[in-house]
Amino acid sequence: MKSDDVKPDDALFMRRALDLAQLGTGYVRPNPLVGCVVVHQGQIIGEGWHRQYGGPHAEVNALAAVENQELLRESRVYVTLEPCAHHGKTPPCADLLIEKGVPEVVICNVDPFALVAGRGIEKLRAAGVHVETGLLAEEGRWLNRRFFTFHEKKRPYLVLKWAETADGFLAGRYFQPVQISGPQAGLLTHQWRAEEAGILVGTRTALHDNPRLNVRDWPGPQPTRLVIDKNLSLPPTHHLLDGSQPTRLYTYRQPHHTPNLDLVTLSEADDLLPQVLADLHAQNIQSVLVEGGPTVLNALLAAGLWDEIRVFRSPMRLGQGIAAPRLGHTGRRSVENVGPDELLWYVND
């Protein structure tokens, strides 16, 4: 934004819009998180956010919240992402802003989605609306990092997560499951599961841990379970094959019909991970929490295919077992305590 366009409370109102957008986490995917604030003479008179995929967008909710609709013609609207200009599940929000006579729109980020990508801004300006862009753009990109990564890199946003002991093990000998992290870490993991579109594990983790990979201890939608099982070695009694939620299984074998289970046959002649990521992109699965095991985690690390790493480091020691991944250059890092554990959080710059 140009300095002469900035008003004293612009950042305050946009930050409020970003806070509102966050409330849609988990519920609007694969749409982005969007918040909107309507301001008249320095006072908020309407606000809203995108609450549910397929439901009204943030701008629709915010404008509808304004009691005196005539004030919209003298108002400044703050929205975290460029208003859409195409007909999708709902009509274009750019058209609604024009119809309501809104004279000024401040936008945090330009939408990277090909059907928008500047068209909403062009439509507003062509109608005489004063449009400013880029306010708190870095914060907006972080909020919608999954959405931006998916559209710009043509792959899901990848969050690698594991728990390790103080002496660097994530399982006992022969992949014997061990409860490493504490209950607070377990609760946080369920929150993370609700925030991502899919959860991925490899064959050994699926076999030895028999995980459910669902959200039980936190409110939110269930992710799609993603399993690499190259030789279809999982027994039908395992939780991942119980049909309780959408599950996608990657294999080298020929698929067969199983309720609520999609089997995807991969080519043995090509690298496995690029095929998996390409399929996830085609399925519009925009983010994945990778929960193991070491083969999958190390392969993604070696290929540089990760966006965040979240490691719970427990004070317990095993002495021997399956080694946790070893990290080299890992970008920005933060550390915090989660119950008895230490949470190391890395972001790939």
How far lies 116's CA from each of 1, 31, 105, in Å?
A: 20, 13, 16
Question: Binding residue per annotation — 125?
Answer: no
342 is catalytic: no
- For residue 251, the Cα-to-chain-centroid distance in whole angstroms is 25
Question: Binding residue per annotation — 108?
Answer: no
Question: Binding residue per annotation — 203?
Answer: no
Question: Cis peptide before 30, with omega less than 30 degrees from 0?
Answer: yes
* Cα distance between residue 347 and residue 171, in whole Å: 25
Question: Binding residue per annotation — 29?
Answer: no
Q: Which residues pair with 332 in a beta bridge?
A: 347
Question: Binding residue per annotation — 216?
Answer: yes
CB-count exposure of residue 329 (10 Å: 0-12, 13-18, 19+): exposed
Question: Binding residue per annotation — 84?
Answer: yes
Residue 164 sits at the vertex; the CA angle it makes with 149 and 250, to the nearest 5 degrees, is 50
Question: Binding residue per annotation — 16?
Answer: no
Question: Binding residue per annotation — 246?
Answer: no
Question: Binding residue per annotation — 225?
Answer: no
Show the DSSP H helices in the chain as ranges: 10-22, 58-64, 93-99, 119-126, 137-143, 145-153, 183-195, 203-209, 272-282, 294-303
Pull the structure tokens for residue 147. 């959405």
Question: Binding residue per annotation — 93?
Answer: yes
Radius of gyration in angstroms for the set of CA atoms belonging to the chain, rounded to a whole number: 23
Show the DSSP H helices in 52-200 as ranges: 58-64, 93-99, 119-126, 137-143, 145-153, 183-195
Question: Binding residue per annotation — 295?
Answer: yes
Question: Binding residue per annotation — 36?
Answer: no
Pick from 36, 12, 35, 38: nearest CA to 23: 35
Phi/psi for 159 (5° steps) reads -115, 115
Phi/psi for 108 (5° steps) reads -75, -60
Q: Considering 47, 59, 195, 196, which one is annotated as catalytic?
A: 59
Question: Binding residue per annotation — 251?
Answer: no
Annotated binding site for Zn(2+): 57, 84, 93
Active-site amino acid positions = 59
Annotated binding site for substrate: 193, 213, 216, 291
Annotated binding site: 57, 84, 93, 163, 193, 205, 209, 213, 216, 291, 293-299
